Amino acid sequence: MNGQFPPQGTRPAPTPPAAASASCRNRLRRAACGCAVAALLAAGAASAQITINSKTGAVTNGATGQTINTVDRRYQQIVPTHVPLTKSELDAKTRLELIRLLDAEQGFAMRPLPRGHKGLTLQANGKLEPFGEAYLDMATAEGLAAKPGDRVVLTDVKIEHSHIVFELNGGPDLKHRILRHVEIGVGPEMNPAVQGTGDEALGARLTLSFENHLPELTGAEVKALLAPLISFDVKTPIQAFTDTLPTKLKEAILNHHVLVGMSTDMVIFAKGQPDGKSRELEGQMPFEEWIYGKPPQDVQFVRINGNRVIRLEVAKVGETPVIFTRDEVTGLMRTDGTALDPAGDPNTRITKEGDVERNPDTQAPAAPPSLRQPGEKLPADKPQTGVMKPVQFPKPKPEAQPDANSDSGAQPPANAQPPVPDASQPSPPKPQPGQPDGATLPD
């Protein structure tokens, strides 16, 4: 998938809908995987854009046009060779001469050579298949038959219609692998046709492919076509290994310097076996310390985690130790030499994956989880208007009946109004003068 992202801290310029849709359709047509999704957030003519291709793993800087790959350069596409080839067919005599010259020939691997039945396919004066992420996946799934700089032997050469198949270090398949499933015998006693030794095939297969037919070739021309993957020159082991590395890293190894990010093989080629080793634990991370030198000489402490150098400490007598922690090798193995640590670039945003460790002394705690949508505001977030006054409870009202509270001894309030008589009810007769209250007159 191809995606473009502007650097942090820039404001994307508005794009008309029609122009944006047309630009998106054009990018979709040019996508290598056929179903790419492109998003253009333009920040102006001077802003940098990065394009990521998920099929090949290539990262392209839109401002400079520089291609930065996400995989090791030893798994990237090769530079095609330019060996002149004739148009005449390969005859039987030349075929036998090629087999006689190439069989049991030795060379040095310039790329990782993975195991597996299919192996690698190299087009004559063309590209390598697979490459990039697919090449790395094959090496991870099948394992490596030879690392860069290892010696390899062409144990078998098969010349077919339009390609030449080379078996390296015995090939990836066992001998008589079909006959191993056949048993021969009489009656109940059966014996396998081929007695297996139980050894696993650890070799590799390399196919040199041509377009339509095999042209007339010499042994030197075949070796020149295989040069991106196998070098047949006479070299020492350290020369064969450093020739597979970029120039700056090669010079560091030849000058016996250790850089943060080197593999253990690079450290051994640069410094040799260490004078001492120790294994320690820092937090939850185990590491191994390789020690080079003894006082009064300079002492180097090379800290290794897994297969990489993560820290280098150089201690000199009478001086403060110098500590290096910045990775200088990963950028060399993936780019043209620029460092991958963008801490000094203000337009670069660093994203961390997994559990994020926070320093309570310098970083604020993370915000609690919320169900709010982005940009959503609740009524409680609105500012209050005016001043809130204390709550006033309503005053109690008197009962409708005049003697309702007589039993409880409650006295009516002083300002209470007398009850109004109901007109529908007959009024009691008024007492006559000299008659006691509550007495009634006879009929």
Give me the CATH number covering residue 305: 3.30.1450.10
pTM of the model: 0.57
Within a domain: 83: no
Bridge-based pairing state of the strands 322-324 and 308-315: antiparallel
Bridge-based pairing state of the strands 106-109 and 183-186: unpaired
Q: Are 326 and 339 in contact (CB under 8 A)?
A: yes
Specify the pLDDT at position 318: 87
Specify the pLDDT at position 196: 65
Residues 210 and 138 in one domain: yes
Q: Are 163 and 217 in contact (CB under 8 A)?
A: no
Give residues with Cβ within 8 angstroms of 288, minimum separation 6. Answer: 277, 278, 279, 280, 303, 304, 305
Residues 236 and 267 in one domain: no
Residues 155 and 212 in one domain: yes
Place of tokens 């300079």: 298
Q: Distance from first CA to last CA of the chain, Å, rounded? A: 115
Residues 157 and 205 in one domain: yes
Q: Are 130 and 154 in contact (CB under 8 A)?
A: no
Q: Give 249's Cβ-side CA count (13 Å radius).
A: 30
Residues 48 and 136 in one domain: no
Q: Give 86's Cβ-side CA count (13 Å radius).
A: 10
Residues 62 and 104 in one domain: no
Cα gap 205→250, rounded to integer Å: 28
Specify the pLDDT at position 44: 38
Strand residue runs (E) in 233-354: 276-282, 285-292, 299-305, 308-315, 322-324
Cα gap 3→27, rounded to integer Å: 10
Place of tokens 């009489």: 186
Within a domain: 194: no
Residues 157 and 127 in one domain: yes
Cα gap 323→307, rounded to integer Å: 19
247 sits in the region (left: phi over 0; alpha: psi -120 to 50; else beta) called alpha
Within a domain: 111: yes
Cα gap 103→169, rounded to integer Å: 12
Residues 104 and 43 in one domain: no
Per residue in 284-303, is it b (16+ CB within 10 Å) or e — as a string? eeeeebbebbeeeeebbbbb
Within a domain: 408: no
Residues 50 and 125 in one domain: no
Task: Give me the domain span that covers residue 41.
Answer: 2-70
How many domains is the chain partitioned into structurally? Answer: 3
Enter the DSSP assignment of 177: T
Cα gap 409→89, rounded to integer Å: 131
Phi, psi torsion values for 125, nearest 5 degrees: 55, 30
Distances (CA, A) of 420 to 189, 410, 417, 431: 126, 21, 9, 20
Specify the pLDDT at position 371: 86
Cis status, amide bond into 246, omega within 30 of 0: no
Specify the pLDDT at position 36: 35
Residues 236 and 135 in one domain: yes
Within a domain: 383: no
Within a domain: 313: yes
User: Which domain-ending residue is among 319, 334, 349?
Assistant: 334
Within a domain: 323: yes
User: Which domain-ending residue is among 280, 304, 334?
Assistant: 334
Count CB neighbours of 83 within 10 A: 15
User: Which domain-ending residue is among 309, 334, 359?
Assistant: 334
Residues 117 and 170 in one domain: yes
Residues 235 and 251 in one domain: no
Q: 274, 300, 304, 299: which is closest to 289 by C-alpha?
A: 304
Within a domain: 205: yes
pLDDT averaged over 10-residue windows placed end to end, the chain, 443 residues: 43 42 42 37 43 59 59 86 90 91 92 91 92 90 91 92 91 75 79 70 91 89 93 88 89 93 92 92 90 91 93 91 90 63 56 69 81 82 72 80 54 57 58 55 51
Q: Are 112 and 145 in contact (CB under 8 A)?
A: no
Q: Are 203 and 170 in contact (CB under 8 A)?
A: yes
- Read off the tokens for 233: 């020159």
